[in-house]
Amino acid sequence: MTVWPYPVVCGTDNKLRGSFCFDGVVCYTCKMSDVVSKVVNTFRQKFPSNPVLIKAPGRINLMGEHTDYNEGFVLPAAIDRAIYFAMSPSQTDRCNVYSLDMEEGVSFSIHDLNPGETWVNYLMGVIDGFGRAGVRIHGVDCVFGGDIPAGAGLSSSAALCNGFGMGLNHLFQANLSRLQLAKLSQHAEHEFVGLQCGIMDQYSSLMGQQQSALLLDCRALQHEVIPVHLGAYSLLLIDTKVKHTLASSAYNDRRRACEQGVAVIHQHHPEVQSLRDVSRAMLYEFQDKLGEDVFIKCLYVVEEINRAQRAATHLKKGELVEFGKLMYETHWGLSQAYEVSCDESDFLVSLAEEEKDSVLGARMMGGGFGGCTLNLIQTEKIKSFREKVLHQYVATFKKEPDFYLVNLTQGVSIIPAP
């Protein structure tokens, strides 16, 4: 599916409502409205009360991949693809939750949180986090659904945790800050899902600002808002349709390699607490002690922390060409040094490099091993580039990628119900 963010007449009702794609696909604004209506209508069919409605966006990361758990800098942004929650108190200690996307429901007590193998782990983890924070909550009735492609690296899991957490926070007047909610969501992934993720996904989904990215300091957990003015360019995601599993051993292996590198250097430089504190010179000083694999992985992270800061500076100055060059650098670092790419992602970035005059930058995005590539592309060239990608990708991999144009948007919010 391709969705275009141009303000033209929408073909579904002849009103100016957002966008309309070249191929006749319903515009994003109308598609979003359909999702919201379905969530609310399903809730009213299943439960007797009027719900509060929460929008929890996914996120992209413009620069700074695998730097968050190394206390470095990242440059994420919330996007206009989201999970929507209709929620109200159940008046009991039971949570009755229905997932539109999975077409299944669950019911469990907030006093009996036993992780299983499904999406309910994320919700149980959030509830457990409220308890650990000393906040008393009760059960809820909830229906949720959205349009964040699963497995595409757009942080649907963070949106799921954040939206549910925001709903609980609102319904039970817990008064937790957005930073506290981000930490709750991260806790859910750590303890109930088994993924030792950094906090970038949860933070950016909650803190996102309209048409802006966040330069997030993952040590201080503070951010600078970076306005993003793309002019004649757009952000195009191309989904490889390779479904990555971040909880796999490969992701956690990368994290362990970074920790091993820090442990070696810390013995000689006690001030070093993470790769945030390590310079290139320091790494080369201990190259032999680190071993080849750990050295290469750590070198990528040290360079990427620097790239994220330079990228923010380029965006503030409107230097899109320089920003795009850093995107290509990041991709090949992720592919060849950090080894978290895949053949499909490398293929898509190579196609983008053939069109550098119109595709200023491209890279794989997310934890790796599949998902989307992010492309900074001249808007008027999207159609021709899409046709080229479709032809060559299908011929090579025998499957068709999906294309998503995204806009940068506000973080998790309570919205009016239709």
Per-residue tokens: 325: 């060059």
Q: How far is CA 261 from the centre of its chain?
A: 27
Distance between CA atoms of residues 203 and 361, nearest Å: 25
User: Are 262 and 273 contacting, i.e. CB atoms less than 8 angstroms apart?
Assistant: yes
Question: What residues are annotated to the active site?
Answer: 201
pLDDT reported for residue 31: 56
CA-CA distances (angstroms) from residue 67 to 12, 74, 95, 308, 405? 43, 7, 36, 9, 25
Distance between CA atoms of residues 23 and 4, nearest Å: 10
pLDDT tens series, the chain, 418 aa: 334 343 333 333 333 333 334 443 334 455 567 889 999 999 999 999 999 999 999 999 999 999 989 999 999 999 999 999 999 999 999 999 999 998 899 999 999 998 776 889 999 999 999 999 999 999 999 999 999 887 777 888 999 999 999 999 999 999 999 999 999 999 988 887 777 777 889 999 999 999 999 999 999 999 999 999 999 999 999 999 987 655 467 778 899 999 999 999 999 999 999 999 999 999 999 999 999 999 999 999 999 999 999 999 999 999 999 999 999 999 999 999 999 999 999 999 999 999 999 999 999 987 778 889 999 999 999 999 999 999 999 999 999 999 999 999 999 999 987 7
Radius of gyration (Cα) for the chain, nearest Å? 21
State pTM to two decimals.
0.87
Specify burial of residue 114 (Cβ count, 10 A radius: 0-12, 13-18, 19+). Answer: exposed
9-231 matches 233-406 in fold: no
Domain boundaries, the chain: 9-231, 233-406
Class of domain 233-406: alpha beta
Per-residue tokens: 146: 């959205």
Helix axes 343-353, 382-397, angle to 10 degrees: 140
pLDDT reported for residue 243: 75
CATH code of 9-231, in short, is 3.30.230.10
Pick from 324, 287, 283: which is nearest to 307 by CA? 324
